A = this chain, B = another copy of it.
Amino acid sequence: MSRNKYPEETVKLILEESLKLFIEKGYESTSIQDIINHLGGLSKGAIYHHFKSKEDIFEAVCHKIGEENIVYYDKMRDDPTKNGFEKLKEMIRSAYTNPSNDAVFAMQDKITSDPKFLMNQIHESYELVAPRYIEPIIREGMADGSIQTDYPKELAGVLITLLNIWINPMIEQSTTLQMQQKLNFFRVLLGGIGIDLMDEEIMEQYMKYFEHYNQLK
C-alpha cells in the first residue's frame, strides 16, 4: 500500500482494528500479524513506524477510551447546576452510562483469561478517576453541606473499589437476585455512614444495566 498523505488516519485505523481484536480475542491472543491482516494491505513496518511495541498499542487504545470518559467526567464535575451530592450520584451512574461503556465491558469479558484490561482499569481508577473526580466532588459536597464525611479520599477509594470490582458482573458472576442483594447491602453500608447514594432510581437503572449485560453473554 502506498503511503498515506494523512498519517493520523493510519494511526486511527491501527487503533480501531486493534481495539476490535483485543475485545474479540483478548490482548495476549491477538498477534501483530492478526492486526496486520485487518489493516487492508498495510504492513508490519507501518505498525512499528507509528507504535514502538504491542504494549504501546495497548496503552494507546486504553488512553483513547480513557479520553472519551474524561470529557464526560469533566463536564460532570464542572457542572455548576448540581451540588456535590448530585454530582457524586451522577458519577456512580456513569458506571453504566459513560460513552465507552460497551467497549470497556466487552473487553472485561476477557478478564479471567486476559487480566491486562482489569489491571489497567484498577490502576486508572486509583490514579485518575478517584483523585481527580470522585474525591473533588465529595469535597465539594462537604463544602456545600450535601455530603457529610471526614474521609473524602477514603470514601472515594471504597466507592470505586466496590463498584469496579465487587459489583462488576464480569468479575463475580451473579444471578439477578444476588445482584439485587449486593446493591441492597451497598445501600445499607453507605447508609450506615450517613450517605444515601443508592436511591430507588439508581438501583433500578443498575439492575436494568445488569440484565442488559446478562443478555449480551
B-binding residues in A (CB < 8 A): 111-112, 115-116, 118-119, 122-123, 126, 150-151, 153-155, 157-158, 161-162, 165-166, 171-172, 178, 181-182, 184-186, 188-189, 191-194
A181 to B184, CA, bound (A): 26
**A184 to B193, alpha carbons, bound, how many Å?**
13
Please give 10 more A-B residue pairs, beta carbons under 8 A apart, in addition to A122-B171, A157-B182, A192-B192. A122-B165, A126-B172, A150-B188, A151-B184, A153-B178, A155-B185, A157-B166, A157-B172, A162-B162, A192-B194
- Bound form: Cα–Cα A206–B112 in Å: 30
Q: Is the interface of A mostly helix, strand, loop or mixed?
A: helix
Q: Quick check: A193 and B188 within 8 Å, CB to CB?
A: yes
Q: How many copies of this chain?
A: 2
Q: Say whether A123 contacts B112, CB under 8 Å.
A: yes
Shortest distance from the beta carbon of A35 to any chain B beta carbon, whole Å: 20
Given the known inter-chain contacts A192-B192, A192-B193, please indicate yes or no for A185 contacting B126, CB distance below 8 A.
no
